[in-house]
Amino acid sequence: VFDVAEIDQKGFSERIVSAPVSPLGQRTRIHTKCATSVPLPSTLALDPARQHILENEEQPIDLFYAFVYISDRDEGLVISNVATLVDGNPDNNFLKESETVRFNPNSVLTGATFVAAAGHRLYMTTPRGLYVIDVSDPTHPRITGSLTNGFLRNPRCVAIQFRYGFITDDDGLKIVDLTEPTRPIPIPRATVRLNHAGRLYVARTYAYVANGPEGLAIVDVENPEGPFIDQMFNANGALKDTRAVQIGSVNASQFALVADGRNGLRVIQLISPDTVPGAQGFSPRPNPRLIATYHTKGEAICVSRGLERDRVVDETGGQTVVFGRRGSRPFHLDEMERFYRTSTSGEGKNVAGKGELYRVEDVMLSGGVLQTKSGTVLTPLEMPTPSPTPMISPREPAVEPSAIPRATP
């Protein structure tokens, strides 16, 4: 674990250090044989052991946020407690080998190439296929699902978004249905052929795939079950060895940070108000431009995740930040499912089972005709004309004559 707190401090001579103090006062290293990826459940500094204030009515932070999860070709999954780095105490920054969990039952995770965290579930790619690992109890992980039927050929990377998993392998980009998170279902028609698919990043309706000597593949995944290549970008031949990509936003623009192997780190501007019409929209079509290059001493093979600032709930319904109102919280998982699944129970609140998925289409106006995106013409419902209400002339209320007061003698 490296300290990068001073990464943007011009007055610091060494901005990336293994310890800001003597090595005797800090040890943040875990030994692994052949680590291939190092994801955290969140890029926010979450401390499950933080003291909760009763008056705030806070939701608890799940325990798995205190750990880092490492995929290793030889050891499978390596789990280490890193909560000491976010508790505000500089005297206990020691990662302990004795508390490190190494998980590889029957060697099924040998050869692991990547692991992605989605709440308390991990999705790991190995030469056998895809494995789903439950880490709700990080010290006792367990495999709860897999996809090892040959659909995936030497998978290299996986990304999770909503109900789908996006995986790169020897054939290119493949998409699996994760509506039931522990039962990945392959979608054979949702395969995009790419010759050198490496690591990827999914941002709303586009998947950005590092495609080796062919540059960056931008895939339209608005319909995850019918993806297609939107454009291939290599900056006029400059991108020749793309290995990994991360997407992030600065101010009003979106950028791709690309690890371009022997060519170093590339910065590609994707969306900007001066280059993309409708840049302020939900997911405008990117207009990539290479704007900067940083030459590295060795080959650039990966890029770290950026800060997910506005992420408040994870894929399994766990709260990640404290809201500004007392007792406020995001929806729990069963509450979120009501937005896209029907209920098999007659009551809206007590969902007894999971029903069918809601299916809707976007509506647009084309040539003065209202229709769905697939072309179905919509006609307004015929509303019965209400019969006119007869007018009733106002009647003055009857007024009884008041009694005439008598004079008092």
Q: Which amino acid is at 121?
A: R
pLDDT at residue 368, rounded to an integer: 84
Q: How many residues does the chain have?
A: 409
Q: Average pLDDT for residues 380-399, to the nearest whole number? A: 74
Instruction: Collect all residues with Cβ–Cβ distance below 8 Å to 49 and sequence separation of at least 6.
Output: 66, 83, 87
Domains of the chain: 23-294 (2.130.10.10), 338-372 (no CATH)
d(CA 390, CA 406): 48
**Residue recorded with tokens 């809601």:** 358
d(CA 194, CA 191): 9
pLDDT at residue 24, rounded to an integer: 83
Mind listing the pLDDT tens digit for each residue in 223-273? 999 999 999 999 999 999 999 999 999 888 999 999 999 999 999 999 999
pLDDT at residue 404, rounded to an integer: 64
Which of 2-11, 62-71, 166-175, 278-287 has the least mean pLDDT? 2-11
Cβ-based burial of 270 (10 A; exposed 0-12, middle 13-18, buried ≥19): buried
Mind listing the pLDDT tens digit for each residue in 323-365? 777 878 888 888 888 888 887 765 444 444 678 888 888 888 8
Burial profile 223-259: b = 16 or more Cβ within 10 angstroms, e = fewer: ebeebebbebbbbeeebebbbbbbbbeeeebbbbbbb
d(CA 262, CA 298): 7
pLDDT at residue 336, rounded to an integer: 87
C-beta separation of 170 from 153 below 8 A: yes
Task: Look at residue 66 and tell me whether its pLDDT is greater than 50.
Answer: yes
d(CA 32, CA 114): 15
pLDDT at residue 25, rounded to an integer: 86
Confidence of residue 403 (pLDDT cuts 50, 70, 90): low
Q: Could you tell me which of 86, 90, 91 has the C-alpha nearest to residue 68?
A: 86
Task: Look at residue 63 and tell me whether its pLDDT is greater than 60.
Answer: yes
Instruction: Show the tokens assigned to 192.
Output: 């995009």
Report, in this order, helix, strand and coil percent for the chain, each rounded to 5: 5, 35, 60
d(CA 69, CA 18): 19
Mean predicted lDDT score pLDDT of the chain: 90
CB atoms within 10 A of CB 184: 27
pLDDT at residue 358, rounded to an integer: 86
d(CA 142, CA 139): 10
pLDDT at residue 409, rounded to an integer: 58
Q: Could you tell me which of 57, 58, 61 has the C-alpha nearest to residue 83?
A: 61
DSSP strand pairing (121-126 vs 354-357)? unpaired
Task: Look at residue 53 and tell me whether its pLDDT is greater than 90.
Answer: no
- Between 136 and 3, residue with greater pLDDT: 136
